[in-house]
Amino acid sequence: MLKLLAADGIDSEIQAHYRLIASVRDTIGMHTHDFFELFLILKGSVVHVINGNRQLLRENTLVFIRDRDVHYYEQTKDSDCRFINLSFRREVLDDLIAFLGEGFPSERLLEPAMPPSTLLSKTEKEYVRYRLDQLSLIPQEKKPALKAEVRAILTDLFSRYIKAEADHIELNGQPEWFRALCREARKKEHFTRGTAALVQISGKSHAYVCRMFRMYLGMSPTQYINELRMSYAENLLLNTDMDIVDISLEIGLDNVSYFYDLFKRRHSLTPHLYRQFGIVHR
């Protein structure tokens, strides 16, 4: 099997290599490497064969590849794929993890059998693309500036997107469809719709979704959704002047009494007192 080496393709002073890949035909077959990668799918979709698994990756997907992963790409029947790839040396990641500190869940990035990937919104995709495109604007001879920009970009992207994904990866064999479902559930347009959204997104039966949530998270889908709702409500209480009734409706709860009950169970405070307490202690 082909093994790509950082020494052969990544400048030792810059410690990273940025490129735009216009087609799956421009990629190589099965391989591994001694460096790390981030890639962002700009257009189309691709079958990503990695560590013996096949993933259909859609437009706007951001993927982190570790230095032990074995992978290659296959073109889908419907479309080609265009994506950005940023390769970087092991020392870059080591320094990044050291900088972000103990709170950064590095073991959840590096230890699972499958690497993390996250489906971005269109706005998020454009932001990531903008950040990565900054590398093409710096002349290659300005190596210290390129090295600094690479590290700034990776710190930003890992903090914004990769850490959020790692925080929800459990080292307990969750299947990819379940992890993808949990990622989608964290979007406001889904958790405000309740468990019906989980069933619709997953394409599986309500009973099966319930069993999987019990198995992998130790809670029901309703409890998971309500945790997301309460977290969003906390933010609205502390950072907006919205009426509590409006906040209840905003998170998908028409029954304000039920909202109060859920909130008090979580904080032992009413939403009103939580807001007052938060403002006083800012």
Residue ranges of domains in the chain: 2-167, 176-280
pLDDT band at 24 (very low <50, low <70, confident <90, very high): very high
Examine the pLDDT at 168 and tell me if it is beyond 70.
no
| 3-state SS class at 232 | helix
Query: pLDDT at position 164, please?
Result: 67
Question: Cα separation of 171 and 176, whole Å?
Answer: 12
Instruction: Give, in order, the Cα–Cα distances in Å from 111 to each of 102, 115, 171, 174.
Output: 16, 9, 8, 14
Query: pLDDT at position 119, please?
Result: 81
CB 198 within 8 A of CB 221: yes
Least confident range from 46-50, 70-74, 108-112, 179-183: namely 108-112
Tell the residue number behind the tokens 């938060």, with chain if given. Answer: 278
Question: Which sign, positive or negative, has the C-alpha torsion 26, 32, 36, 40?
Answer: positive
Which residue type is seen at 252?
G
Q: Which three-class secondary structure string do you get for 13-25?
A: CCCEEEEEECCHH
Question: Which sign, positive or negative, has the C-alpha torsion 133, 137, 140, 145?
Answer: negative
Give Cβ neighbours of residue 127 (< 8 Å, ≥ 6 apart): none
* pLDDT, greater one: 145 or 108: 145
Q: What is the mean pLDDT of residues 30-59?
A: 91
CB atoms within 10 A of CB 265: 10
Closest to 245 (Cα-Cα) out of 223, 236, 231: 236
> Percent of the chain having pLDDT more than 90?
55
Query: pLDDT at position 55, please?
Result: 84
- 244 backbone φψ class: left, alpha, beta (φ>0; ψ -120 to 50): alpha
Residues making up the chain, counted from first to last: 282
Examine the pLDDT at 34 and tell me if it is beyond 90.
yes
Q: What is the pLDDT of residues 48-104, one digit of tens each?
A: 999 888 888 888 899 999 999 999 999 988 789 999 999 999 999 999 999 988 878
Q: What is the mean pLDDT of residues 217-246?
A: 90
Query: pLDDT at position 282, please?
Result: 47
Least confident range from 14-18, 92-96, 146-150, 274-278: namely 274-278
Topology agreement, domain 2-167 and domain 176-280: no
Question: Which long-range contacts does 270-279 make (Cβ < 8 Å, 24+ apart)?
Answer: 271/233, 271/237, 271/244, 271/247, 272/244, 274/234, 274/237, 275/237, 275/238, 278/237, 278/238, 279/238
Tell the residue number behind the tokens 């809670």, with chain if given. Answer: 219
Examine the pLDDT at 281 and tell me if it is beyond 50.
no
Examine the pLDDT at 225 and tell me if it is beyond 90.
yes
- Check: CATH 2.60.120.280 for 2-167? yes
> Percent of the chain having pLDDT more than 70?
95
CB atoms within 10 A of CB 264: 14
Which is the CATH superfamily of the domain at 176-280? Answer: Homeodomain-like (1.10.10.60)
Closest to 86 (Cα-Cα) out of 17, 189, 170: 17
CB 64 within 8 A of CB 162: yes
Q: At residue 116, what are phi and psi to the nearest 5 degrees?
A: -75, 145
